[in-house]
A and B are shown apart, each in its own frame.
Chain A
Amino acid sequence: MSASKDTKHPSERMPRAWLVGVILLGVLSVGLGLWLLISDATEPPPPKTPQRALPAEASSWDDRIDVLARNRQWDRLLEVAREIPAEHYSLMVMHDVQRALFHSGRLLSEMFMVPQTIKRDGRLGLSSLAPHTPRAAWKRAEVLFELGLVNAAESWAFVTLEVGGPRNNCLRLLSKVYVLKRHPVMVHTCLNALVAGDASERAWADARLKRLEADPLLSDDEEISHLRAMMPVKDYCRGPGTIAFRDYLLQLLDTNPRNRMALEYLIAFDLWSRHPEFVVADLVWWKHAGRTDMPRYCQEALLVFLSDPSYRKPKNRPLLAFARSCAPDIDETTHMLFREYATSLKKFIDTPADERASLQATMEKAYGTDYLFYDTFGYSASGKDVQPVDGVTGASK
């Protein structure tokens, strides 16, 4: 082989490359020094944006609640939520409040203590949050993941990335999705992307990779094990068209009747949509999951169902029989509340329409946080004037 200039091995050209490098380095060092000398060395560094703003410093109720939700400070979130005027209850806030109620074990006994209204989408923010805003997309991804809807969570996590939502949280979530879906290369890709975007995540990513090396399924990880038991294992696809919100939750219960979140969100949805017959049907799942307590609002819905003659149709016989079998679970306080409410309601119905307003206000004061009131009037907790939400922007009109 000839040793012409062009065919010289790279290593043979190294001294020259070094020389050029050193000269350039010197020239640039002098240049840099001169520039720093003439530039304003007293300029303060740009202010750092805090990673997590404190709730008290947040600019709006949405922001304050969002920060608390991201930090999973559920009790504090519910405390702050009590201060929010009904008209400031956006879908974002409602989504987080209901999630906080669930995580505090209070969803089915306190959901009507916040301003619910039938005029707004009651799918707990899963469907009506303006889908293409970063925060909404991320909220969807997060709650779908918690429910066990791993495929849907994956999809919304990618939407979150697409619209520029919380990147690190999202990549962490996606890495978990791919552990669950058994795509180890994708787990690495997500963790690499996480570290590439934010070097401070390296420690977490490295620790995760180390654990994955020892156990690719992360069998000893509590969150992963829980989700693995909840995620669907068969395809419930019924073809083109949107899946109804109830069907999503029923898929999860069919997969695992002990999916507490799916069950409570299902019952909450049926309460919100004022379908006591569905609530009774949901109680089958409740019993099946081994739950012996009966939440307050379920008791109220059960009484509504048992007392309403319109449900006494032949087709409802099995459901009626089941409802009657559940009746002993209704406590005396609820029975008493129901009797009082029935009396008030009769008085309301017997009053001429143009004289009902003050009576309704009195009833709202007495029963405004009960399902019984919501079932009749379609709002709770001063939520009468809460406006529907713009489906595009997510803002209250």
Chain B
Amino acid sequence: MIETLRISLAKFAGDAGFVSLLRRAVALAGAELPALQSVKIGENGRLDGAGSAISALGDEAAVAITAHLLALLVVFVGEPLTLRLLSESRPDTQITFKHPEADQ
């Protein structure tokens, strides 16, 4: 998912734009999963050292990073535009945001 997002986001924000967002997302995820604090991000946005962290944590690490990345996108460009970007990266998938408050 992160790789799919990288390709899609780098198209309009550039590699540097994606990397800067990913660094923030990893830092925020690292607050929840300390193992991610050792993850380094390459200039092209690939996660160096993520393999060991992610394999140690399973899908949890990828989900945490992706969630924070998407949350950051929502903060900066809003939910509808984030959904559009996601739809472009996964045209065959129906994507919606689930709001926790809607379940209550």
Please indicate whether A and B come from the same complex rather than being unrelated chains. Answer: no
Q: What residues make up the interface of A, taking CB atoms closer than 8 Å to B?
A: none
